[in-house]
Structure 1
Amino acid sequence: MSGAADPPRSHGLGGFEETLKDFWLTRPRRPLRGRKVAGVAAAIGNRYGIDPVIVRVAFVAATVFGGVGLSLYVLGWLFFPAEGDQVSAIEALFGKGRSSMTKGFTIILAIAFFPLSSWAFAGGWFDGGGVIGLALLVTALYLLHRGRGQFNRPEVPETTMYSMSTPASTAAEQPGWDPLAAPPLAWDLPSDEPPPPPAPPAPRRPARVPRRRSKIGLVTFACALLVAGAGAAAAATGADWFSAGHIIGLTLGVLGVGLVAGAFAGGGRGLIGLAIPLCIAGVIVTAVPVSDYKGGFGDLNAAPATIAEVQPEYSHTAGDMRLDLTKLPASGTVTTSVHNGAGDTRITVPETADVRFSCDTSAGTVDCLGITTDGVGRPAATGTDLGTDGAGGLQINLTVQQGAGNVEVLRG
């Protein structure tokens, strides 16, 4: 009824548009302390009362799996003002206010954003990962503002500044402006009205009370151990689904739930030291199909003396394999294949044998009788080598498949 403008609501936001407007008006401000690079993750964490480490992990994960995390971080760098600045760097570039970031560096960041975005959405290691990562991060930020936007709302500095170039229509609205340029006190006339009471001091935001650390980290670690142990026990009993990759994935899922819960309730930061190596192990297990190779672990050495002793297949899960075929007779035909999940494989053939070979490794170096490949996802090295005496004599048909490691076929 008084006609005064209603204060902005800090909670109970209406629709999607109102949420976006409120987010823009109260967007996170990059702190001057506690930042690792530009303070984007710390700004989001401080704004919504969660652990900034969780935000950093989300950015890193979105960068590794899809590449969009880095481009979103640059966007936050450009559009989140720093503490003490009137506006963000991109707004200051267009003269909307003052920012501590120089215009030259702002232009460099804006230019760098475009190749980073094209790399994220061009496809590659994880096709579609950029779109999925973008959707997950934007949705998470939207839900954070809907649920916790009322906390730690920043105080926006005053941006209205007047100068000698202020238009007359605007300057006339300023209090104390005198069109005749006379001394202001000369126009003060006595008045019977009492002076207005002084304005009350602006309320100061109370200091943040540190949260009590919970036992979420310890409970999550115990649950992760139970899940990993149960998965390993199920795999030992012959359950095919509980492979190494699935067990790692289940354990990471438990750790992820604990990290998210710890971000809101406090605690759980130490779980990151366990999650990072598990992520690396999961990527390796996923990229290298070790489960396709049977035969156990350790080193395997075989030196058959007759053709009948040569096995049709030599299979090994992980470890070094040594197959010596130099003791075979000088005539006959031998066909065998060697499969090794991870490790080094060396096969020695007689000097005079005619060898038809195909050697392949998913990641590593191949040197099969002078034909070499190196790297990841390289084509198999194939060919025929007739030995030192030309065609004739012992015939060896050899196929080598390796998950990760080096493959070598040489004469001895």
Structure 2
Amino acid sequence: MTRTDVQDTLREMWETRPARPRDDRQIAGVAAGIARRYDIDPVLVRVGFVVAAFSGIGAALYIAGWILLPDAPADPSAPARSRTRGYLVVGLAIAAAITVGSLFGGNGPDVLLPLLVVAGLLYLLHRSRGKLGTGATASEAPTVATPAAAGGPSLVKDPAGPPAWDPLGAAPFAWDLPEPSPAPAPPPPRTLPVTSVTLGLALIAGAATSVIMLLAGALTVANLPVLLGVVLAVLGAGLVVGSFLRAGRGLIPFALLLSVLTWSVVAAPLDRWQGNGWGELRAAPTTVAALQTTYQRTAGEIDLDLRNLDLGVGPDGNTNAVRTRISLGAGDVLVQVPNTADVTLTGSLGVGDISFGEQRDDGPGAELNVVDDLGTDGVRSGRPLLLDIEAGAGDVEVRRG
């Protein structure tokens, strides 16, 4: 493949870009237009946009298609748009703005790689199926010439003379017979029950996985992503099969809901939800002996005040580090440390925001590691304080004073 071939293909892709139809659009008709251009099921294209959304570029790609693909002529008989589509448009705009912000906010490589993958797949699709689709909308039905329009005989009886089916008048005794009835319309094509079959298989697969995990002693909250992944894999297979059979569109809401649930469980690990209680936990130890090794909650708030904790070296000359661990499933964590304490922080958060002074990280998988922060005096003094904080979802703040 030469450079000229690539340029010709790209030029042809632009010149033959499809119009966005109005009769099969969910939001703006981008997926339906691409599907008709390349003669594939629009469900497959919509699933592709959903997968791209989880990589952070789906909304931006849809907005780009909305801008670049022309709109099909309006049909006066088409129903008015519902208000729900307006909310979807607002959601798309917000998601696209987040994508652009990620591109220029330091996450460029994470966004550019999925863009290159999508561009390559679209190029290969055009190379293999560029001659198949015509880009016409489904409402443009082919014109069928009637016998009268084509100059053929009419079957309408004329009282002043013989009917058209007997132009020579050879059978006047049969002129009063009823006209031949039109041929019955063919039955509509049968729709395969892809949605119901796939949902049934997903339930069976989920139940079988639960039984196997239960017998193996692995059916725990921490292993819930495995169970959700099995069910999601069955739904994904059903969507792929349905895209070729032009069926299974009812699976899309279930797949989207389960995808969001699975992503949330993976982003905020459920093993951190196995605490020893709910609600608020407040502690303000003043001695190392009163400081617990672990402060844990399933959900709620942990407020640990260490500003008056004595970290000085005692008469025994012990300079070992003072350690404590904080674990929270969901909620907020606030740790206050002395101004002059030597602090080392290891923090991880499934979803949310974690900060220590001016250092901050947020989003899924937020992490913050601070080594030997000497405090306001800037010198090593007393026993160092080591903090290990883990949370599933929420906000974590460590501050001085």
| Counterpart mapping for 1:233-312 below 5 A | 233-235=211-213, 237-238=217-218, 243-288=223-268, 290=269, 293=272, 295-296=274-275, 299=278, 301=281, 311-312=292-293
1:225 to 199, 203, 218: 203
Residue type at the aligned position of 1:256: G
Per-residue deviation, residues 134-184 of structure 1 (Å, max 9, x unmatched): 3445556666679x8699999899xxxxxxxxxxxxxxxxxxxxxxxxxxx
Candidates 49, 58, 62, aligned match of 1:59: 49
- Residues in 1 aligned to 2:327 and 2:22: alpha-carbon distance in whole angstroms: 56
**What's the TM-score, normalizing by structure 1?**
0.52
Query: SS in structure 1 opposite 2:110?
Result: coil
In the TM superposition, what whole-angstrom CA distance separates every residue of 1:291-339 from its partner, at most 9, and x where no partner exists?
A: 67484575375869885675544566x523536577x996777422224
Please state if 1:214 is matched with 2:204. no
Q: What letter corresponds to residue 395 of structure 2 in structure 1? A: N
Normalised by the length of structure 2, the TM-score is 0.53
Residue 356 (structure 1) aligned with residue 343 (structure 2)? yes
1:348, distance to aligned residue in structure 2 (A): 6.5
Q: 1:272 to 1:296 in 2, by over 3 A?
A: farther
Structure 1 counterpart of 2:300: 320
Matches within 5 A, 1:11-50: 30-36=20-26, 38-46=28-36
Q: Relative to structure 1, is the Cα distance of residues 343 and 126 closer, same or farther in structure 2, using a 3 angstrom cutoff?
A: farther
Question: Secondary structure of 1:406's partner?
Answer: strand
Alignment of 1:344 with 2:332, yes or no, is yes
What's the offset of the Cα at 1:407? 1.9
User: Deviation string for 1:64-120 (max 9, x for gaps)?
Assistant: 426378558856975789479xxxxxxxxxxxxxxxxxxxxxxxxxxxxxx99xx69
Do the aligned residues in 1 keep the contact of 2:22 with 2:72 (CA within 8 Å)? yes
- Of structures 1 and 2, the one scoring higher in RCO (CA 8 A, sep 6+) is 2
Alignment of 1:164-175 (within 5 A): none
CA distance in 2, matches of 1:302, 1:126: 42
In structure 2, distance between residues paired with 1:70 and 1:352: 46
1:222 is paired with a residue of what secondary structure?
helix
Aligned AA (1:336): T
Q: Secondary structure at the match of 1:248?
A: helix
SS at match of 2:250: helix
Aligned residues: 306
Residue 307 and residue 225 in structure 1: after superposition, are their counterparts in 2 closer, same or farther (change >3 A)? farther
Whether the 8 Å contact between 2:37 and 2:134 is mirrored in structure 1 is no
Q: Is 1:128 matched up with 2:113?
A: yes
**Aligned pair in 2 of structure 1 residues 230, 359: CA closer, same or farther (>3 Å)?**
same
How large is the Cα RMSD of the aligned pairs?
5.6
Q: Distance in 2 between matches of 1:353 and 1:23?
A: 65
Deviations 1:181-202 (CA, angstroms, capped at 9, x unpaired): xxxxxxxxxxxxxxxxx9958x
The one-letter code matched in structure 2 to 1:248 is: L
**Matched position secondary structure for 2:241:** helix
The aligned residue for residue 187 of structure 1 is: none
Percent of pairs identical after alignment? 31
Unpaired runs of 5+ residues, structure 2, are 1-8, 75-98, 143-147, 152-184, 315-320
Q: What residue identity is the alignment partner of 2:57?
A: G
